[in-house]
Amino acid sequence: MAFKWDNDMANAYVKSTVSAALNNLYSMRLKKDGKTGLAKLLEAIGFAEEINARRILMHLRGKIEDPEVYIQDLMRIKKESFSEDYPCISRALKQSGSETASEAFEQFGEVAKIHFDLIEKVKENEADAASFYHICAVCGYISETEAPEKCPVCGAVKSKFKTTE
């Protein structure tokens, strides 16, 4: 069973990661707006927060619970993502006229379903795990065999795939 401080550390990791990402996004926006001084500062703060997040993650290592419990939770989260969360967000974005964002969330749902199916497959038979996985750097689609010429989810070209080792 995890102690409260483990959850506090995990929450600190999430906050540092999100804050770093937001600082980097706003830094890009400020550069575009010609406010380079503040942009550089936010970029530096974002980088510092990425360092903090990595250090927090190192402290969390070894404090994780039973992997089987985690896999069950992950499968539940993935299922909620592709069956409820992403479709709902996609519909709301479509209604608001944000077609591109709506399409992205449709793709996120497709990818979450693929992840769920892969976890289920390997969980049932560890021998079914691929030696290498090929991940689309655009949408997160995972191929077990080889990087396709074109991503079946987002259409990204083969060169956009990263292979695990």
List the chain domain ranges. Answer: 4-60, 68-163
| Range with the poorest average pLDDT among 98-102, 107-111, 126-130 | 126-130
pLDDT given for residue 6 in this prediction? 66
58 band by pLDDT with thresholds 50, 70 and 90? confident
Q: Residue 3's pLDDT is what?
A: 47
Mean pLDDT of all residues belonging to the chain: 92
**How far out from the chain centre does Cα 86 lie?**
13
pLDDT in the model for residue 74: 93
pTM tops 0.85:
no
Please write the tens of the pLDDT for every residue from 141-159.
Answer: 999 989 999 999 999 999 9
**Percentage of the chain modeled with pLDDT above 90:** 79
Q: Mean pLDDT, to the nearest integer, of 126-145?
A: 93
The answer, yes or no, to whether residue 92 has pLDDT greater than 70, is: yes
| Residue with more model confidence, 40 or 4 | 40
Residue 5 in this model has a pLDDT that exceeds 60 = no
Query: What's the pLDDT band for 2 if we cut at 50, 70, 90?
Result: very low
pLDDT score for 157? 97
pLDDT confidence of residue 52? 94
3-state per-residue secondary structure call for the chain: CCCHHHHHHHHHHHHHHHHHHHHHHHHHHHHHCCCHHHHHHHHHHHHHHHHHHHHHHHHHCCCCCCHHHHHHHHHHHHHHHHHHHHHHHHHHHHHCCCHHHHHHHHHHHHHHHHHHHHHHHHHHCHHHCCCCCEEECCCCCEECCCCCCECCCCCCEHHHEEECC
**Rounded mean pLDDT of 66-89?**
93
